[in-house]
Structure formats: C-alpha cells, structure tokens
Amino acid sequence: MDELIPIVAIISVFGSVILFVNTLTNYSLKKKLIDKDMVNNETTNLFSRKDSRQNALKWGLIVLFGGLGLIIIDSLGLDSDEAMPYGIEAVSIAIGFLIYYAMMKKEIED
C-alpha cells in the first residue's frame, strides 16, 4: 500500500494540472469567439451545458462502478498480490462505461 501513495499523488497532481489547463483553454476559446462575433448556430454547441451534464453522468457512473468493484474486492477478502482484484476493478469500471454508452446511444436514437 505504501508504494501506491506516490503514484496516486503524481496522478492527482498531473490530473489537476490537465483539468485546469483544459478549463482555461476552453474559456479562452469561447471568449475569443464572442469577442470576434463569430457566434452562430454552429458555435453555440460549444457553449452548451448538455455536454457537461453528459460528462458528469459518465464520470459519476464510472466512479460508482469503480467503488462497487472495490466493495466487492473487500468483501471477498482478496490480497493485492493476486491478479483477481485488478480484474474485478477493471470489469466493474468497464460495466459503468458500457452503461453510460448504452444510455447515450439510446438518447441519440430518440
């Protein structure tokens, strides 16, 4: 467990930096489009909140199923030296993503 702490810390720091830069560049792009009066029906999709709601749903489902995978691993009492806990976690996260994909596919078809 002690060897995972630095890995998680590094991933958290770099993930936060990437999220911050992404947010900043999106804001800058939107501001430039507005300043140059290039906003029309095609560019209004950039300002849509629908994408952020879908993104929140995606990450919510993935984290939910990731947590369920961890609960299953803990309830089975598996050691981290084995490969089974990693497989259970990967499958549970994949199930969450597939549920999101099915929901989005159904929404597009409607």
Which tens digit of pLDDT belongs to each residue from 22-75? 889 988 888 888 888 877 776 776 666 566 678 888 889 999 999 999 899 889
- Tally of domains in the chain: 2
Burial class from Cβ neighbours inside 10 Å (0-12, 13-18, 19+) for residue 65 reads buried
- At how many degrees (to 10) do helices 84-109 and 50-76 cross? 150
pLDDT value at position 44? Answer: 72
Whether residues 35 and 61 share a domain: the answer is no
* Phi, psi angle pair for 107, to nearest 5°: -65, -40
pLDDT over 80 at 4, yes or no: no
Whether residues 40 and 62 share a domain: the answer is no
Whether residues 78 and 110 share a domain: the answer is yes
Whether residues 56 and 110 share a domain: the answer is yes
* Between 110 and 66, the higher pLDDT residue: 66
pLDDT value at position 37? Answer: 82
Whether residues 110 and 56 share a domain: the answer is yes
- Tell me the C-alpha distance between 83 and 89, whole Å: 10
Q: Which domain holds residue 29?
A: 1-47
